[in-house]
A and B are shown apart, each in its own frame.
Chain A
Amino acid sequence: MIQLTRDEIDYVAMTEAVRTPQAGAVVLFLGTVREMTAGRRTVALDYEGYPEMAESKMRELAEEARRRWPVEKLAIAHRLGRLELGDVSVAIAVSCPHRHQAFDAGRFLIDTLKETVPIWKKENWADGTTEWVHPGT
């Protein structure tokens, strides 16, 4: 399951959806909105995406993970719009026969998503200023 959504991510349902008797390991990763970044206080994040390309890139990630690890089931969801502190921005659930496979596949999925999927976040700092997060610029 690949999903871009403006609604809350139901990571419990996602986790249940990847459970299967063929898998002995289920890994769930959640990305959540953090209050402090390098000493600055965040009040909210705004997420923007390029939906067609983001979904296409997330499907490619899922295919790549399935090529590299014995994935039984996986689910990826990313949220767009205004998120408050603690909200879940991204969830990845993956099941494999053994735990090291599930951890490695899950880590690959989140690390590569952050590098390649066209989604951007804008910081809304506590001092009232805003700032797009564009690594390397």
Chain B
Amino acid sequence: MKVQVKLFARARELANSDVVEVELPADGTVGQLRAVLTERYAALRPMVRSLLFAVGNEYADDAAVIPPNGEVACFPPVSGG
């Protein structure tokens, strides 16, 4: 399945795009997405372990399955306030 991934902050700048599309198997997980993203975007590799993911506006860990058409985002640790 094709997954659109919104990127923010330094992850967006390193990938030079605010949204990217990646191909994942059906029932693909956040962990698989993390691997595919950092495979394609070498610039993201130094921060691979600290990247956070959200599915449907909720934080999702590597075991989380990405639903078809789910809204997916990837970003570094937050620093609002």
Q: Say if the beta carbon of A136 comes within 8 Å of chain B.
A: yes
Closest to B18 in A: A48
**A113 at the A/B interface (Cβ < 8 Å)?**
yes
- Per the CB 8 Å criterion, the residue count for chain B at the interface is 20
Q: Tell me if A114 and B77 are in contact (CB < 8 A).
A: no
**B47 close to A (CB within 8 Å):** yes
- Which DSSP category, helix, strand, loop or mixed, fits chain A's interface? mixed
A53-B54, A137-B50 known; A114 vs B80 contact (CB < 8 Å):
yes
Binds A, one of B3-11, B25-33, B34-42: B3-11
Interface size bracket, A side: 20 to 34
Q: Within 8 Å CB of A90, what residues of B? A: 80-81
Residues on the B chain within 8 Å of A136, using CB: 50, 77
A134 lies within 8 A of B81 (CB): no
In the bound assembly, the distance between CA atoms of A108 and B80 in angstroms comes to 15
In the assembled complex, which residues on chain B have CB atoms less than 8 Å from the CB atom of A113?
A: 80-81
Once bound together, how far apart are the Cα atoms of A110 and B80, in whole Å?
10
Q: Please state if B81 and A132 are interface contacts (CB–CB under 8 Å).
A: no
Q: With CB as the reference atom, state the residue of chain B lying closest to A137.
A: B50
B73→A49 contact, CB < 8 A: no
Tell whether A120 pairs with B50 under 8 Å between CB atoms, given A114-B78, A115-B78, A134-B77: no
Candidate in A113, A116, A132 with the most chain B CB atoms within 10 angstroms: A132
Q: Once the chains bind, are B57 and A132 in contact (CB under 8 Å)? A: no
Q: Please determine whether A50 and B80 come into contact, CB atoms closer than 8 angstroms.
A: no
A78: B residues at CB distance < 8 A? 80-81
Tell me the complex Cα distance, A127–B12, Å. 24
Once the chains are docked, how many angstroms separate the CA of A78 from the CA of B6? 21
Taking CB atoms, residues of chain A closer than 8 Å to B81 are 31, 78, 89-90, 110, 113-114, 119
Q: Complex Cα distance A89/B81, Å?
A: 6
Mark contacts of B10-26 with chain A using CB atoms, 8 A cut-off: 1 yes-contact digit, 0 otherwise.
10110000000000000
Chain B residues with a Cβ under 8 A of chain A: 6, 8-10, 12-13, 47, 50, 54, 57, 59, 71, 73, 75-81
6 nearest CB pairs, A to B:
A119-B80, A120-B9, A134-B76, A133-B79, A114-B81, A132-B10
